[in-house]
Amino acid sequence: MNDTLYLVMPAYNEAENIENTIQQWYPIVQEIGCNSKLVIVDDGSKDNSLTILDGLKNQYPLLVILSKSNSGHGASCIYAYNYAINKKADYIFQTDSDGQTSPNEFWLFWEKRKEYDFIVGSRKKREDGKDRIFVTKILKVVIFMIFKIIIEDCNTPFRLMKSNKLDEILNYIPENFFLSNVIISTISVKLEYKTLWIPITFKQRQGGVNSINFKKITKIGIKAIKDFYIIKKNLNIKNHLIN
Q: Which structural domains are found in the chain, ordered by start?
A: 5-242 (3.90.550.10)
Residue 187 has pLDDT above 60, yes or no: yes
Mean pLDDT of the chain: 88
At residue 128, the pLDDT reads 59
Alpha carbon distance 127, 167 (integer Å): 32
The residue among 82, 43, 92 whose CA lies nearest residue 66 is 43
Angstrom distance (rounded) from CA 73 to CA 42:
10
In the structure, what pLDDT confidence band is assigned to residue 222 with cuts at 50, 70 and 90?
A: confident
Of 47, 55, 44, which is closest to residue 22 (Cα–Cα)?
55
pTM over 0.85: yes
pLDDT tens digit sequence for 18-60: 999 999 999 999 999 999 999 999 999 999 999 999 999 999 9
